[in-house]
């Protein structure tokens, strides 16, 4: 459905991951996590899930159930960089919707979120924007995370700067802002 | 004592077994507690909360279905708090439910509608969320329509698909307010492992899962003066239909059903039992041929055990799950499809009707039959062999629409040529029935004597045990079958796909050495089929089975090879079992499928 042939995880890699975790508690979650990690665009493609199901005998629908339950799992290709905007109650009252709207600088981003999506990836697979319900950092609202680093009391100027640095691949500059 | 304990419900003391739920204990003292996610066939989920009750000394209400009784418990089911909570729960469910009841297929047979009516939900305190949700309706399957806007996420379908059928086509995906019941990647039911068995329909409390109905198409065919509309009725329909029309479960309504079908305007009313008997002739001969190939010719290509092929849900299951074993399936078409192929050839010729003028309709206890009729292999008459498949429920709807007072009908007989049946054909409707019918005929064919069971009743293959086993030792066979002397014919019967899986896994592991196995997709066999009246329960299925065996016991002929119309069709048309014509019209091939 969403996987091009090139983006599929090699079955030999999946076999290796399965054999390493066979019989351990929480096997399925760990295997799914590592398969996602092994994928070039950090997501679970349908072919990999089908292969995983055929090898572990876990029904395919159940794998899908687990993959949709945890927001950690991605069902669509992810960009090289991630930009996560918290849409929890505290961040919302401190204006996180405005921050999300500021990302309209990325064509298609605003439309995706307005239509109810919770994730958007640029066509060149450079940047993925996501929303989450809460980071647990409410005192620092509004909060965003860029490539796993948390930024607090973010303003419109800041998020635009963070985005610009990402686009220019200027990591060090972003670290300084954190 | 020990295993017994006492509790009080609304002040009345009741003694129950340890482990009994409050829900079941309440039933014993005549207290009805409403339920939605609870179903007798399934494990307890406790997610809908509408069965809440108050337990003295506990602050929070408890779900009666999921709470076991404890010694001395004081349960109250009719307090202000309980009534109010239930009402709010129903209101919350309705706030996300497309409650356009008058345009719903399940109108009048919906558990949520019934509760809303009992609790008189007159005004909505909660925002109606349906317009804000992006609900989808999946209509691509030829058998099942899945409408998410009617779903209350009780997960009865998910549990049915997993626990009863081990198909796992349906699952719970996403969470919280986004939670919904989907297939893998939200594909259509038509594109996943779904076997079309329809058990999810039988267990759905609302209109979220219903059969795709073909009622209007059949009405149009009947009204078309240029068409000759032939109808066949499956064995299990006669013991289920009454439930939709005012009778208690277990009532046999064969004669009334025939009379009703004639009143509806069908040009010929005939019986799938006839082709059930024919199936026995073909399948029995196939089994004996396979045994000869394996035992005498030692042919390594002969696949044993041979598995029955009457149940289209089971066929799609094995195609998806065990594609390496398709060679073990009997090549016989199901009785429905044999009938379809013959009605546009044999019947058309005998009655001098152009086959393209014939519309072939079948009444089935089954939704998978709708899919089966649409398979590309099923055009051997040169036309689509079965044009429309209606479930028992759809027939009941037509009878009501036509204004027929079913109770008052006088019994009528099936039309001739393909309407004669034996007791062996009738018991196809119950689990173990195909096996029993096959043994009655095969044993007699081989030995010239009746099968060595009292009154032809092969009790080991009857009943509701998930997997049943039987063996028959063949002694003093006729000379042409002398190679079977002393052979112990080992048989097994499995119903419900979860049991089919057990048997198939045993075969795969090399732990089963049967010769012949009957597989039925639905619990109880066809009488518990996905097209039968709702509700279903172990008790209802037991009563339908009793009715099937009573019908068999009352038949003058009880062995398939005695059916005079079967004898006639071989003489006039088919030649012999497994002959060239049979091969062309009555046998088929199977397709390996993927596991999603």
pLDDT at B256: 98
Beta carbon pairs, A and B, within 8 Å = 46
pLDDT at A1: 42
- A60 CB neighbours in chain B (<8 A) are 168, 184, 193, 595-596
Name the DSSP class of A95. Answer: T
Cβ–Cβ of B171/A64 closer than 8 Å? Answer: yes
Cβ–Cβ of B175/A61 closer than 8 Å? Answer: no
Residue B360 sits at φ, ψ, to 5 deg, of -105, 120
Q: How far does A21 lie from chain B, in Å, by closest CA?
A: 23
B170: nearest CB among A46, A53, A61: A61
> What SS3 class is residue B511?
coil
pLDDT at B417: 97
B530, B522 contact by CB (below 8 A): yes
What torsion, rounded to 10 degrees, do the Cα atoms B192, B194, B195, B201 define? Answer: -150
Please provide the average confidence, as pLDDT, over all residues in chain B: 96
- A53 CB neighbours in chain B (<8 A) are 595-596
CATH architecture observed for domain B282-333+423-533+554-562+570-586: 3-Layer(aba) Sandwich (3.40)
* Residue among B575, B53, B81, B491 nearest B306 (CA): B491
**Strand B388-391 relative to strand B358-364: parallel, antiparallel, unpaired?**
parallel
Q: Model confidence at A6, in pLDDT bands (50, 70, 90)?
A: low
Cβ-Cβ contacts under 8 Å for B108 (sequence gap 6 or more): none
Residue A93 has pLDDT above 60, yes or no: yes
A65: nearest CB among B134, B173, B594: B173
* Residue among B338, B367, B494, B363 nearest B431 (CA): B494
Delimit the domains of chain A by residue range: 5-69, 81-177
Cβ–Cβ of A59/B171 closer than 8 Å? Answer: yes
* Residue among B558, B560, B474, B455 nearest B515 (CA): B474
pLDDT at A152: 92
B573 touches chain A (CB under 8 A): no
Beta bridge partners of A120: A129
Pick the CATH number of A81-177 from 3.30.450.20, 3.90.50.10, 3.40.30.10, 3.30.70.100: 3.40.30.10
Cis peptide, bond prior to residue B535, ω within 30 of zero: yes
Cβ-Cβ contacts under 8 Å for B390 (sequence gap 6 or more): B213, B214, B215, B218, B361, B362, B363, B364, B398
Cβ–Cβ of B596/A60 closer than 8 Å? Answer: yes
What pTM did the predictor assign? 0.93
**Strand B516-520 relative to strand B488-495: parallel, antiparallel, unpaired?**
parallel
CA distances from residue B427 to B259, B424, B462, B497, B538 in whole angstroms, order as listed? 22, 6, 10, 20, 18
Please report the sign of the dihedral spanned by the C-alpha atoms of residue B36, residue B41, residue B46, residue B51.
positive
Give the span between the Cα atoms of B29 and B17, in whole angstroms: 14
Residue A3 has pLDDT above 60, yes or no: no
Q: Model confidence at A168, in pLDDT bands (50, 70, 90)?
A: confident
Cis peptide, bond prior to residue B305, ω within 30 of zero: yes
Which residue of chain A comes nearest to B169, CA vs CA? A61
pLDDT at A2: 46
Give the span between the Cα atoms of B468 and B481, in whole angstroms: 27
Class of domain B215-274+336-408: alpha beta
Cβ–Cβ of A61/B174 closer than 8 Å? Answer: no
B433, B548 contact by CB (below 8 A): yes
CA distances from residue B575 to A156, B346, B454, B480, B570 in whole angstroms, order as listed? 86, 12, 33, 20, 5
- A51 CB neighbours in chain B (<8 A) are none
Cβ neighbours, 10 Å, residue A32: 22
Place of tokens 């317009």: B131
pLDDT at A7: 67
> What SS3 class is residue A132?
strand
Number of H helices, E strands in chain A: 9, 5
- Over residues A65-72, the mean pLDDT reads 92
Q: How far does B504 lie from chain A, in Å, by closest CA?
A: 15
Q: What is the CATH number of domain B102-111+124-211?
A: 3.30.70.20
Sequence ranges of chain B with CATH classification 3.30.70.20? 102-111+124-211
Class of domain B4-78: alpha beta
* Residue among B302, B119, B139, B148 nearest B214 (CA): B139
> What SS3 class is residue A88?
coil
Q: How far does B556 lie from chain A, in Å, by closest CA?
A: 48
Regions of chain B where pLDDT drops below 70: 1
Give the span between the Cα atoms of B239 and B594, in whole angstroms: 36
- A49 CB neighbours in chain B (<8 A) are 184
* CA B110, chain centre distance (Å): 20
Which residue of chain B comes nearest to A70, CA vs CA? B174
- B182 CB neighbours in chain A (<8 A) are 61, 64
pLDDT at B201: 98
Q: How far does B176 lie from chain A, in Å, by closest CA?
A: 9
User: Of all residues in chain A, what percent carry a pLDDT higher than 90?
Assistant: 63
Give the span between the Cα atoms of B379 and B370, in whole angstroms: 14
* Residue among B463, B472, B504, B464 nearest B491 (CA): B472
């Amino acid at each position: 459905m969403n996987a091009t042939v090139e983006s599929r995880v090699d079955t030999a890699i999946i076999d290796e991951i399965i054999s390493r975790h066979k019989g351990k508690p929480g096997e399925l979650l760990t295997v799914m996590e590592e398969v996602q990690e092994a994928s070039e665009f950090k997501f679970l493609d349908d072919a990999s899930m089908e292969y995983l199901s055929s090898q572990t005998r876990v029904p395919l629908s159940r794998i899908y159930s687990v993959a949709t339950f945890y927001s950690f799992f991605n069902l669509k290709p992810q960009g090289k960089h991630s930009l996560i905007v918290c849409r929890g109650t505290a961040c919302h009252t401190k204006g996180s919707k405005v921050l999300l709207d500021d990302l309209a600088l990325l064509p298609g981003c605003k439309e995706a979120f307005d239509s109810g999506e919770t994730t958007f990836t640029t066509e060149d697979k450079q940047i993925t924007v996501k929303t989450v319900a809460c980071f647990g950092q409410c005192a620092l609202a509004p909060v965003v995370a860029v490539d796993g680093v948390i930024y607090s009391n973010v303003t419109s100027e800041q998020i635009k700067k963070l985005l610009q640095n990402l686009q220019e691949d200027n990591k060090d500059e972003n670290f300084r802002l954190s | 004592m020990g295993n017994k304990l006492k509790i009080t419900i609304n002040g009345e003391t009741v003694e129950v077994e340890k482990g009994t739920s409050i829900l079941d204990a309440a039933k014993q003292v005549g207290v009805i507690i409403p339920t939605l996610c609870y179903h007798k066939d399934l494990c307890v989920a406790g997610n809908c909360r509408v069965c809440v009750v108050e337990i003295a000394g506990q602050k929070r209400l408890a779900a009666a279905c999921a709470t076991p009784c404890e010694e001395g418990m004081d349960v109250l089911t009719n307090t202000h708090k309980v009534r109010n909570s239930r009402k709010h729960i129903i209101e919350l469910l309705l706030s996300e439910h497309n409650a356009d009841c008058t345009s719903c297929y399940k109108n009048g047979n919906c558990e949520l509608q019934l509760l809303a009516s009992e609790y008189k939900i007159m005004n909505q305190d909660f925002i109606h969320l349906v317009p804000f949700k992006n609900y989808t309706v999946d209509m691509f399957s030829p058998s099942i329509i899945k409408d998410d806007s009617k779903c209350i996420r009780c997960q009865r379908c998910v549990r049915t698909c997993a626990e009863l059928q081990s198909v796992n086509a349906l699952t719970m995906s996403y969470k919280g307010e986004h939670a919904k019941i989907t297939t893998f990647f939200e594909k259509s039911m038509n594109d996943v492992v779904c076997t079309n068995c329809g058990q999810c329909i039988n267990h759905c409390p609302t209109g979220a899962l219903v059969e795709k109905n073909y009622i209007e198409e059949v009405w149009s065919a009947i009204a078309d003066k240029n068409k000759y509309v032939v109808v066949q009725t499956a064995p299990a329909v006669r013991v289920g239909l009454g439930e939709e029309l005012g009778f208690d479960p277990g009532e046999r309504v064969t004669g009334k059903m025939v009379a009703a079908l004639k009143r509806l305007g069908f040009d010929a009313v005939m019986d799938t039992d006839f082709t059930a008997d024919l199936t026995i002739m073909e399948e029995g001969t196939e089994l004996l041929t396979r045994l000869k190939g394996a035992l005498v010719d030692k042919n390594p290509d002969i696949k044993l055990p041979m598995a029955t092929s009457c149940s289209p849900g089971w066929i799609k299951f094995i195609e998806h799950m065990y594609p390496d074993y398709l060679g073990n399936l009997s090549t016989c078409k199901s009785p429905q499809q044999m009938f379809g192929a013959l009605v546009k050839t044999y019947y058309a010729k005998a009655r001098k009707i152009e086959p393209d003028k014939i519309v072939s309709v079948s009444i089935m206890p089954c939704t998978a039959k709708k899919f089966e009729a649409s398979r590309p292999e099923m055009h051997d008459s040169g036309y689509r062999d079965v044009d429309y498949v209606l479930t028992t429920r759809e027939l009941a709807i037509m009878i009501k629409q036509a204004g027929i007072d079913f109770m008052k009908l006088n019994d009528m007989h099936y039309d001739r040529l393909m309407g004669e049946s034996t007791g062996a054909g009738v018991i196809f409707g119950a689990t173990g029935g195909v096996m029993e019918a096959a043994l009655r005929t095969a044993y007699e064919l081989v030995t010239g004597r009746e099968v060595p069971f009292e009154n032809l009743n092969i009790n080991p293959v009857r009943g509701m045990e998930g997997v049943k086993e039987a063996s028959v030792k063949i002694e003093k066979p006729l000379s042409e079958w002398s190679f079977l002397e002393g052979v112990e014919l080992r048989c097994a019967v499995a119903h419900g796909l979860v049991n089919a899986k057990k048997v198939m896994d045993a075969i795969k592991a090399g732990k089963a050495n049967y010769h012949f196995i009957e597989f039925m997709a639905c619990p109880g066999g066809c009488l518990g089929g996905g097209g039968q009246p709702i509700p279903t329960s172990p008790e209802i299925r037991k009563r339908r089975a009793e009715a099937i065996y009573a019908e068999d016991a009352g038949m003058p002929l009880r062995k398939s090879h005695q059916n005079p119309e079967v004898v006639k069709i071989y003489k006039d048309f088919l030649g012999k079992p497994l002959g060239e014509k049979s091969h062309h019209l009555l046998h088929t091939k199977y397709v390996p499928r993927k596991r999603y």
